[in-house]
Amino acid sequence: MSETRQFQAYTKKLLDLMIHSIYAHKDVFVRELISNASDAIDKVRFEALTNPELLEGDGDFKIRLVPNDIDHTLTFSDNGIGMSYDEVIEHIGTIARSGSEQFAERLKTAGGEAGTPDLIGQFGVGFYSAFMVAKKVELWTRKAGSDHSVHWVSQGDGEYTIEKLESGRRGTTITLHLRDKDAPREDDEEDVDEIYNQESYTDTWTLKRIVKKYSDFIAFPVVMDTKKWEKPKDAEGNEIADAETVESTVQETLNTSKALWTRQPASVTKEEYIEFYKHISRDWQEPAETLHFHVEGAQEWTGLLFFPEKAPFDLFSREPRRGLQLYIKRVFIAEDVKELIPDHFRFVKGLVDSADLPLNVSRETVQHDRLVPLIKKRIGNKLLSHCKELLEKDRPRYEKLWEEFGMCIKEGFHYEPAQKDKLAEIVLVKTTTASGWSTLAEVAERKKEGQTALYYLTGDKIEVLQGAPQLEVFKKKGVEVLLLPEAVDEIMVGALSSFDELELKSAARGELDGLPESETKEEKAEKNTTFGPLTERLSKLLGDQVSQVRLSDRLTDSAVCLVADQDGMSGQLERMLQAMGQPVPQQKRILELNPEHSLVLALRDLAERDSGDERLGEYAEMLMDQALLAEGAPLKNPARFAQRVASAMAAAVGH
């Protein structure tokens, strides 16, 4: 009994896009289907380690291509794990399972088709790429150990039909009913040329070329029956020269079928690495960095790691896809093994093949093997030193990498505080005076004479930070300040505490010492007396909002700003913790007044004449709100602030 079902809404949309917009990448459907077949064989081989009966005597793993130029079809079959009825519905009726919502969201905002091939590339569409060349796709599959098989058909038009069949052979067979070259659909006008010029996917030479190009590294043989015309041979194996040539069929293996990572790095070409990366990452873009190494000695294993070009869309979601593939003696064991790689490198794709882990184990016990943390540590170090090397050798490339992944790498200060010095060497920052990225060492190098601290300001946006009143004195004295706009920066400065013997100090916290040419104690004390009545009055008025009101030595242009206690939490950290739903202890900051500012001077005189003046109450609130606004913080009552400004302006223009 067969059943007709609808694809999910975004699957349908994606299918449309595939069929219409990515002609340039057409050949890759071969890679996608072979890639899936290889994964399926990996899985059954792994299951058979503990349950050999699953193989039903067929352990001669193969992926087979059968072109048929009479029916104009191309068939892929494998003796892998196969799929159950429910699995076909779950896996073949759904797209980009891990990120389908984000995917749909991006499709909506992508606007037009210009950016779509790239967009599709970011998600990897796997199985569906078949519809780029097929008008109908048919699939038969039987799950290893199951007593029934499943037949699935779709024309890629939004629905598919599925039915259970009695039995069949283990594994999956997929037949593509190829689009007719001479009958492009009407809406394909612009692409008619391409369709005419396209090679035929039933041509064995074409298929050989594509498999060699995209799937050579697949560890199982990819075979195809090809025809040979030969003269018959005599008893000694020599051709009989005057005999007629006869046709015979031979099964040819199209790929090298040797696990790529077992080869010596020097013997692997860039193209081979690229295709292998695409196979294991499901990314359609090329990797940005490739690291391939064999570890020998006490532990023996091979690592093949890739940095993607672009950060995946789910990098900062709660459950990102992460982890490496684990192989043991070339047998695939598990994917997404997150125990193999430090969390702050979770965007790295790749695999580990170990000779030392026990083969007959479940995924769970492997994860807890004592070797695994050692491998993880080694990988963390490799990646750090690769970053450092790249930073030194190819700065532009490293900056690009940092822009994609810096935010993630900085989490290392949290996950692995012991690595903080190594991390500090590869961190890039923006600052008040440099135009592009700087390393911490470069900023330290540019310190002013007499400067004993490295100053930073954390906050939400670089533009807001640039104009923050807390930075005024630094600008005046020409002292460079690190601008740290990301939440994770708080963790970084907390973990580092100093760099190159310079204490890391917040520009918005505590008293400013460590700056060149500061005021003397006597000068300060004198000022404090003349402003006494004002600061005392304001302290009382704002007592429930700030811990103290005092004179500032960091302001030149603004009237006021808020700073934290030396040991207090910065405004940014406070808001970050609140956003994470963490309880934040009620903490008050210090309101600082600029003793040179005409407004503050006028208020000083007002307080001196009559410290009970009623207007001071209003002004106190307005000063507080100004200080909050300047750091991009929300006001408790913005409407009230606007009213106060309006009446102050009205008074000033004489109404």
Cβ-proximal residue to ligand ADP, closest one: 126
Q: Tell me how far, at minimum, the Cβ of 82 lies from ligand ADP, in Å.
A: 6
3-state secondary structure of 42: helix
Considering CB distances under 5 to 8 angstroms, the limit depending on partner class, which of ligand ADP, Mg ion, none binds residue 31?
Answer: none
Considering CB distances under 5 to 8 angstroms, the limit depending on partner class, which of ligand ADP, Mg ion, none binds residue 116?
Answer: none
Q: Tell me how far, at minimum, the Cβ of 344 lies from ligand ADP, in Å.
A: 25
* Nearer Cβ to Mg ion (82/126): 126
Q: Which helix (H) or strand (E) holds 65?
A: strand 63-68
What is the distance of C-alpha 363 from the center of its chain? 25
Q: Tell me how far, at minimum, the Cβ of 582 lies from Mg ion, in Å.
A: 40
3-state secondary structure of 499: strand
Q: Is 149 in the site for ligand ADP (CB under 6 A)?
A: no
Q: Tell me how far, at minimum, the Cβ of 168 lies from ligand ADP, in Å.
A: 13
Cβ-proximal residue to Mg ion, closest one: 126
State the DSSP code for 517. S
* Nearer Cβ to Mg ion (126/459): 126
Q: Tell me how far, at minimum, the Cβ of 92 lies from ligand ADP, in Å.
A: 6
Q: How far apart are CA 438 and CA 436, in angstroms?
A: 7
Q: Please enumerate in sequence order all residues whose Cβ is within 8 A of that of 407, keeping only pairs 6 or more positions apart, or say none.
A: 316, 486, 488
Considering CB distances under 5 to 8 angstroms, the limit depending on partner class, which of Mg ion, ligand ADP, none binds residue 99?
Answer: none
**What is Dmax (Cα atoms) for the chain?**
126
Q: Tell me how far, at minimum, the Cβ of 484 lies from Mg ion, in Å.
A: 40
- Structure tokens, 332: 């695939």
Q: Given the rule CB under 6 A, which of 121-129, 325-333, 585-593, 615-623 is the region that contacts ligand ADP?
A: 121-129
Residue 422: exposure state from Cβ atoms within 10 A (0-12, 13-18, ≥19):
middle
Considering CB distances under 5 to 8 angstroms, the limit depending on partner class, which of ligand ADP, Mg ion, none binds residue 54?
Answer: none
Per-residue HEC secondary structure of 183-241 comes to CCCHHHHHHHHHHHHCCCCCCHHHHHHHHHHHHCCCCCCEEEEEEEEECCECCCCCECC
* Nearer Cβ to Mg ion (18/546): 18
Q: Tell me how far, at minimum, the Cβ of 362 lies from ligand ADP, in Å.
A: 19
Q: Given the rule CB under 6 A, which of 51-59, 120-128, 590-598, 638-646 is the region that contacts ligand ADP?
A: 120-128
Q: Is 126 in the site for ligand ADP (CB under 6 A)?
A: yes
Considering CB distances under 5 to 8 angstroms, the limit depending on partner class, which of Mg ion, ligand ADP, none binds residue 172?
Answer: ligand ADP
Binding-site member from 172, 431, 470, 558 for ligand ADP (CB under 6 A): 172
- Binding mask 19-48 toward ligand ADP (x if CB under 6 A, else -) reads -------------x---xx--x--------
Q: Tell me how far, at minimum, the Cβ of 35 lies from ligand ADP, in Å.
A: 7
Q: How far apart are CA 513 and CA 519, in angstroms?
A: 10
Degrees to nearest 5, angle at CA 341 with 332 and 334: 20
- Structure tokens, 569: 């939490």
* Nearer Cβ to ligand ADP (36/215): 36
CB 267 within 8 A of CB 246: no
Binding-site member from 124, 303, 350, 406 for ligand ADP (CB under 6 A): 124
Q: How far apart are CA 77 and CA 66, in angstroms?
A: 8
DSSP β-ladder status, 502-506 and 453-458: parallel
Phi/psi-derived region of residue 510, left when phi > 0, alpha when psi is between -120 and 50, beta in every other case: left
Q: How far apart are CA 422 and CA 382, in angstroms?
A: 11
Q: Is 83 in the site for ligand ADP (CB under 6 A)?
A: yes
Q: Tell me how far, at minimum, the Cβ of 336 lies from Mg ion, in Å.
A: 14
Q: How far apart are CA 654 and CA 74, in angstroms?
A: 86
Q: How far apart are CA 501 and CA 513, in angstroms?
A: 15
Beta bridge partners of 301: 295, 354
Considering CB distances under 5 to 8 angstroms, the limit depending on partner class, which of Mg ion, ligand ADP, none binds residue 304?
Answer: none
Q: Tell me how far, at minimum, the Cβ of 326 lies from ligand ADP, in Å.
A: 17
DSSP symbols for 133-176: TEEEEEEEEE-TT-S-EEEEEE-SSSEEEEEEES---SEEEEEE
Residues 275-334 that bind ligand ADP (CB under 6 A): 282
Q: Tell me how far, at minimum, the Cβ of 87 lies from ligand ADP, in Å.
A: 7
Q: Tell me how far, at minimum, the Cβ of 241 lies from Mg ion, in Å.
A: 50
Q: Tell me how far, at minimum, the Cβ of 259 lies from ligand ADP, in Å.
A: 19
Cα 649 to Cα 76, 618, 635, 642, distances in angstroms: 78, 14, 20, 11
* Nearer Cβ to ligand ADP (78/621): 78
Sign of CA dihedral 280, 281, 284, 286: negative
* Nearer Cβ to Mg ion (36/558): 36
Binding-site member from 14, 44, 92, 427 for ligand ADP (CB under 6 A): 92
State the DSSP code for 313. T
Q: Hey, what's the torsion of the CAs at 18, 21, 23, 25, to 10 degrees?
A: -60
Q: Is 127 in the site for ligand ADP (CB under 6 A)?
A: yes
* Nearer Cβ to ligand ADP (172/354): 172
Contact positions vs Mg ion (CB under 5 A): 36, 126
Closest by CA to 73, choosing from 200, 208, 228, is 200
* Nearer Cβ to ligand ADP (139/515): 139
Q: Residue 17: how many CB atoms within 10 A of its CB?
A: 19
Q: Tell me how far, at minimum, the Cβ of 173 lies from ligand ADP, in Å.
A: 9
For residue 82, the one-letter residue type is: G
* Nearer Cβ to ligand ADP (37/328): 37
DSSP β-ladder status, 349-354 and 301-307: antiparallel
Considering CB distances under 5 to 8 angstroms, the limit depending on partner class, which of ligand ADP, Mg ion, none binds residue 83?
Answer: ligand ADP
Q: Residue 582: how many CB atoms within 10 A of its CB?
A: 9
Q: Tell me how far, at minimum, the Cβ of 30 lies from Mg ion, in Å.
A: 12
* Nearer Cβ to Mg ion (281/302): 281
Considering CB distances under 5 to 8 angstroms, the limit depending on partner class, which of Mg ion, ligand ADP, none binds residue 20?
Answer: none
Considering CB distances under 5 to 8 angstroms, the limit depending on partner class, which of ligand ADP, Mg ion, none binds residue 595?
Answer: none
Considering CB distances under 5 to 8 angstroms, the limit depending on partner class, which of ligand ADP, Mg ion, none binds residue 255?
Answer: none
Considering CB distances under 5 to 8 angstroms, the limit depending on partner class, which of Mg ion, ligand ADP, none binds residue 412?
Answer: none
Q: How far apart are CA 410 and CA 488, in angstroms?
A: 7
Q: Is 91 in the site for ligand ADP (CB under 6 A)?
A: yes
Count the residues of the shown chain that bind ligand ADP, applying the rule CB under 6 A.
16
Query: Which residues are near ligand ADP by CB under 6 A?
Result: 32, 36-37, 40, 78, 80-83, 91-92, 124, 126-127, 172, 282
